[in-house]
Amino acid sequence: MPRLFADHAATTPILPEVQAAMMGDYGNPSSLHAEGRAARADVDAAREILSQRLGCLFAEVTFTSSATEAVNTAILGSALAGLGGGRRRILLGAAEHHCVLHTAKPLMTLGYQVETIPCDAVGRIRLEALDAMLDQDVLLVAAMHANNELGTYHPVKDIADRVHGVGGLYLCDAVQTFGSHEWKVDDLQADFVAMSAHKLYGPKGVGALYVRAGTRLTPLIHGGGQEREMRAGTENVAGIIGFGVAVQHAQPISAEARDAFWAALDLPEAIRTVPAEIPVLPGHVHFRVPGITAESLLIRLDRMGLSASSGAACSSGSLEPSHVLMACGLSEAEAQEGIRITFGRGQTAETGVRAAKLVREAVRLIQEAQGGRRIN
């Protein structure tokens, strides 16, 4: 049996069309000669594709090395631009990606007050908590479009309205929905939107930041003035071309595999993290089996040919408790049990059933090794 890759929220395989397109021009887009002009045209063509998809101006798209850089640019860049301007508070959703949460330290060094917005049991910020926190001192609020660990969606427009109501800026990390979902920047109402090519069958090492025209932002990387002085450094031309082609080939993910997985799982001790009635990303499955750590189950599944994840960070070879699950109110031990399975393009009901069987079998083997102990 071939391996079953079910970790598409972590990354996706590069499309052959994308790979082929990346083998093209090698010029430096800043050069005046023919090779340089060809590379410039390629970068501009990709920017045009992204701006069309986003429904924004060409000049509102900046290419970066990753969504991580895009998010850092939005948060640190607006803090740098706001220095001296009065607003001192930055609010970050408690279940945001680490690329958002870990920017807190440098912000505090700059004299900003960084606060986390509490979230509900499925990772969505509590609107009433946000309301209680918002005031004229808030510079920026970060709340992602869909959570990478649990797959739940934020009510982005409601958040944007509230943040704009006090004159703050809204950053939306849309990494998990860009390409697979039909939205325009007007739907998100965000001032900054972060995206990443490798989550939509494009190359790794290239991302993009939408910055609403007129938004004050100080660049983080200075040098040759590339990206209209927003991000210096010779452009990753091949990566940017690949990003553009990936967006041209973007398509929705079917919920077939996910639905078949739940229907076939038949494992009463597994606890669904998000109740079935709450909408999640179509390829997304998240659960835990009490008494079985994510690490042991993932290692077992990997040996059996299924690549899944916990969605949590791995440091020095062992999984840390998921900060997302902790923010949802789970204990440290429970937050070490979360398993994320994310299906991708072309994966069918058959894929979902196969994944469910492998999970059931792996849990059974671990329970046997634990001496038949079952914790319900």
- The residues carrying an active-site annotation are 314
Distance, in Å, from the CA atom of 47 to the CA atom of 30, rounded to the nearest integer, reads 16
| Residue 236 binds ligand PLP (CB under 6 A) | no
Instruction: Quote the CA–CA distance of 249 and 203 in Å, as a whole number.
Output: 13
Residues 169, 215: contact at Cβ < 8 Å? Answer: yes
The half-sphere exposure of 264 on its side-chain side, counting CA atoms within 13 A, is 20
Selection from 99, 220, 240, 234 nearest residue 171 by Cα: 99
Looking only at residues 149 through 178 of this chain, which bind ligand PLP when binding is defined by CB under 6 A? Answer: 173, 175-176
Binders of ligand PLP among 75-114, rule CB under 6 A? Answer: 97, 99
Residue 310 touching ligand PLP (CB under 6 A): no
- Binds ligand PLP by CB under 6 A, chosen from 144, 172, 211, 319: 144
Grouping H, G, I as helix, E, B as strand and the rest as coil, residue 160 is helix
Q: Who contacts 158 (Cβ-Cβ below 8 Å, separation ≥6)?
A: 127
246 binding ligand PLP? (CB under 6 A): no
By CB under 6 A, residue 209 contacts ligand PLP? no
According to the binding rule CB under 6 A, does residue 196 interact with ligand PLP? Answer: yes
Minimum CB distance to ligand PLP smaller for 118 or for 205: 205
CB of 279 to ligand PLP, least distance (A): 17
C-beta closer to ligand PLP: residue 173 or 337: 173
- Scanning the chain, the segments in alpha helix (DSSP H) are 16-22, 34-54, 67-82, 98-101, 104-109, 127-133, 156-165, 185-188, 237-248, 256-265, 294-304, 323-327, 349-369
Q: CB of residue 86 vs ligand PLP: minimum separation in angstroms?
A: 29
Output the smallest distance, CB 35 to ligand PLP, in A: 28
Size of site (CB under 6 A) for ligand PLP: 12
Half-sphere exposure of 91 (CA within 13 A, CB side): 28
Q: Give whichever of 148 and 296 is closer to ligand PLP, judged by the CB atom.
A: 148
The only residue of 148, 273, 322, 347 in contact with ligand PLP, by rule CB under 6 A: 148
Binding mask 27-66 for ligand PLP (x = CB under 6 A): ---------------------------------------x
Which residue, 91 or 289, is less far from ligand PLP as judged by CB?
Answer: 91
Residue closer to ligand PLP by CB (options 38, 221) is: 221
207 touches ligand PLP by CB under 6 A:
yes
Query: Is position 67 an interface residue for ligand PLP (rule: CB under 6 A)?
Result: yes
What's the gap between Cα 227 and its chain centre? 23
| Cα 61 from Cα 185, distance rounded (Å) | 11
77 closest CA partner among 218, 192, 221: 218
Of 94, 98, 99, the residue nearest 130 (C-alpha): 94
Contacts with ligand PLP, residue ranges (CB under 6 A):
66-68, 97, 99, 144, 148, 173, 175-176, 196, 207
